[in-house]
C-alpha cells in the first residue's frame, strides 16, 4: 500500500508512475475521500471538546440546585448523538479511503521502461549460447512421457493442467528442488523455512494478491465455520507474512528460502500454454524472500536475482535476463527482473524466475517493521522475493537442453549426487 502522505505530497509523480503500469489513478476520488475523512475527524474532535466544556457547565448548574438530569438535558442537547454521527461518518470515510488505497498498485521505479506487455520488456543480459542439436529437438512432453511424465494420469485424477510423475522423472523433480535448497541455504545465506500451504485472507491482502486477484486463487471453504482459507499461489505469501504485525530486532537482511507447491487457477489464461508443464494449476517452486532496510533494496534485488541466476549457471542452462516494462510489472512490484531459460523444443526463451523489489509496499499493508538500532525507532521493512527457481519449468529446461537423439536425457553433473550417481535417464526397456 502506498503511503497516503506520499500520495498527497507527490500527486503528479504518483499519477505518472501508475500510468506507466496502465493504471489510471482517480485523484479526484482520492481527494474527496481524504477530505471527507479529515473533516469528519475534525468535526468529531470539535464536538468532543464541546462536550468536555459542557461537562463543566453541568457541574455548575448542579451546584446551583438543578437536578443532574435537567442539567445534562439543558447543556448537552444532542451533542452525544452528533458525536456518534460524526464518528460513524469518519469511520466510513476511513474505510472507503482504505479500500481505495488497497486497490492502487505500487509505483514503478524510474528505471522501469515504458511498455504495454511482455513484448516491450528490455533484455539486459544473456548467459550461454542457445542449445542447438544436429537432430530434430523434441519438447518436454514428447521426451518425458516415455520416461515417466504422464499428463493423462494427472488429468484423470484432477483434470487438465495437472501432471503425474513416476520413476526417474519424480526423482529428477525432487533432485532439482533439493539442489536448489542446498545451494541457497549453504552458499547464499538463506534460512530454510517451512510454512503452511493454506493462508487466510489477511495474508493475501498483505502481499497484494487480494482484493484484486481473487479469481486467480483456489479458495477453500472452512467446514469448521472459521474463516475461509486459500491455497498459496506462491511461498511469497506465507513467508513474507511471517513478519506480519511485528517489529523485528534481528539484524538485517533476513533471508529465507522455502520449497512449496503452488496453486493457481490461471484465470484469464484460457488457451495459453495448454501443452505440458509450462502453465499448471499445481507446480513446485523454491522461493527466495529477503527483508531489508530502506535504502538497501536496490542492491538486494541485484543480489537475489544473481542467486537465481546461479542455479541456471550451475545447471549450464542458457538464459537471458530482462527488466519488465511498466505494463508487464506485477501489482505490488516496484521493479522486476525476469530470467528466461532457453527451450530447444520451442526454440524460444521462456520465463523461469521473476525477482521483484516491493520496497515498503507490502510491509505497509502487513505492518512489518524493524527497530533501527541507530535511532531505536521502528521503520517499515523493504521486501523482495524471487523464484530460485520454478522446479517444474527447470525440469522442462533440463529435459529439452540435455536430450539426446535417442530420447534419453543426460543428467547434469550437479544433480548426479541427488540421483544416486545416475548419468543418463533412459526409458525402461
Q: What is the DSSP letter of 217?
A: S
The C-alpha atoms of residue 51 and residue 37 are separated, in whole angstroms, by: 21
Confidence (pLDDT) at 157: 96
**Which residues make Cβ contacts (< 8 Å) with residue 107, sequence separation at least 6?**
2, 13, 14, 17, 18, 334
Q: Is 351 annotated as a binding residue?
A: yes
287 marked as binding residue: yes
Q: What is the pLDDT of residues 169-196, one digit of tens each?
A: 999 999 999 999 999 999 999 999 999 9
The predicted pLDDT at position 138 comes to 97
Q: What is the pLDDT of residue 80?
A: 73
Nearest CA to 184 out of 421, 402, 322, 386 is that of 386
pLDDT of residue 21: 97
Quote the pLDDT of residue 198.
Answer: 97
352 is in an annotated binding site: yes
What are the grid coordinates assigned to 18, written together?
501508475
Could you give the dihedral angle defined by the CA atoms of residues 308, 311, 314 and 315, in that order, rounded to the nearest 10 degrees? -130
* pLDDT at site 73: 63
The alpha carbon dihedral of 274, 276, 282, 285 has a sign of negative
CA 410 to the chain's CA centroid:
35
Q: Which regions of the chain are under pLDDT 50?
A: none
Q: Before 361, cis peptide (omega within 30)?
A: no
Distance CA 244, CA 224 (A): 25
Closest by CA to 143, choosing from 174, 170, 169, 175, is 169
Evaluate the CA torsion angle 174, 176, 182, 184 in order and state its sign. Answer: negative
**pLDDT confidence of residue 87:** 84
Residue 266 labeled ligand binder: yes
Q: Which residues pair with 320 in a beta bridge?
A: 126, 340
Residue 235 annotated as lining a ligand binding site: yes
Residue 387 in marked binding region: yes
pLDDT in tens, 85-108: 888 888 898 999 999 999 999 999
Q: At what angle do helices 297-314 and 167-186 cross, to 10 degrees?
A: 140
234 belongs to an annotated ligand binding site: yes
pTM above 0.85, yes or no: yes
Position 78 scores a pLDDT of 63
Amino acid at each position: 500500500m502506498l503511503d497516503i502522505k506520499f500520495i498527497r505530497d507527490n500527486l503528479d509523480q504518483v499519477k505518472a508512475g501508475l500510468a506507466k503500469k496502465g493504471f489510471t489513478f482517480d485523484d479526484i476520488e482520492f481527494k474527496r475521500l481524504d477530505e471527507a475523512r479529515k473533516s469528519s475527524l475534525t468535526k468529531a474532535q470539535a464536538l468532543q471538546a464541546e462536550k468536555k466544556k459542557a461537562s463543566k457547565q453541568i457541574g455548575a448548574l448542579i451546584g446551583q440546585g438543578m437536578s443532574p438530569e435537567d442539567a445534562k438535558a439543558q447543556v448537552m442537547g444532542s451533542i452525544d448523538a452528533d458525536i456518534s454521527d460524526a464518528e460513524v461518518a469518519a469511520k466510513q470515510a476511513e474505510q472507503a479511503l482504505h479500500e481505495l488505497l488497497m486497490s492502487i498498485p505500487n509505483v514503478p521505479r524510474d528505471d522501469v521502461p515504458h511498455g504495454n506487455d511482455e513484448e516491450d520488456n528490455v533484455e539486459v543480459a544473456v548467459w550461454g549460447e542457445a542449445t542447438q542439436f544436429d537432430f530434430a529437438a523434441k519438447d518436454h512432453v514428447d521426451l518425458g512421457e516415455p520416461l515417466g511424465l504422464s499428463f493423462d494420469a494427472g488429468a484423470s485424477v484432477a483434470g487438465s493442467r495437472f501432471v503425474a510423475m513416476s520413476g526417474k522423472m519424480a526423482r529428477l523433480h525432487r533432485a532439482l528442488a533439493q539442489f536448489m535448497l542446498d545451494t541457497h541455504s549453504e552458499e547464499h545465506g538463506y534460512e530454510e523455512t517451512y510454512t503452511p500451504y493454506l493462508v487466510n485472507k489477511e495474508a493475501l491482502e498483505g502481499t497484494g494478491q487480494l482484493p484484486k486477484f481473487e479469481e486467480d486463487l483456489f479458495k477453500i471453504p472452512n467446514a469448521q465455520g472459521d474463516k475461509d482459507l486459500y491455497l498459496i499461489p506462491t511461498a511469497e505469501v506465507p513467508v513474507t507474512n511471517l513478519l506480519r504485525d511485528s517489529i523485528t530486532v534481528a539484524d538485517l537482511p533476513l533471508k529465507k528460502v522455502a520449497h512449496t507447491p503452488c496453486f493457481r487457477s490461471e484465470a484469464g489464461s484460457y488457451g495459453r500454454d495448454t501443452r505440458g508443464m509450462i502453465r499448471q494449476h499445481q507446480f513446485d517452486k523454491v522461493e527466495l524472500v529477503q527483508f531489508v532496510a530502506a535504502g538497501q533494496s536496490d542492491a538486494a534485488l541485484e543480489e537475489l536475482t544473481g542467486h537465481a541466476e546461479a542455479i541456471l549457471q550451475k545447471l549450464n542452462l542458457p538464459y537471458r535476463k530482462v527488466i519488465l516494462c511498466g505494463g508487464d510489472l506485477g501489482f505490488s512490484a516496484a521493479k522486476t527482473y525476469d530470467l528466461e531459460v532457453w527451450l530447444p523444443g520451442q526454440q524460444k526463451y521462456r520465463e523461469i524466475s521473476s525477482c521483484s523489489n516491493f520496497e515498503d509496499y507490502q510491509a505497509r499493508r502487513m505492518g512489518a517493521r524493524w527497530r533501527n538500532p541507530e535511532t531505536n525507532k521502528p521503520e517499515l521493512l523493504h521486501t523482495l522475493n524471487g523464484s530460485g527457481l520454478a522446479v517444474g519449468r527447470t525440469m522442462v529446461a533440463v529435459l529439452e537442453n540435455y536430450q539426446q537423439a535417442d530420447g534419453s536425457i543426460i543428467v547434469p553433473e550437479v544433480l548426479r549426487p541427488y540421483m544416486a550417481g545416475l548419468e543418463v535417464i533412459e526409458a525402461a526397456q
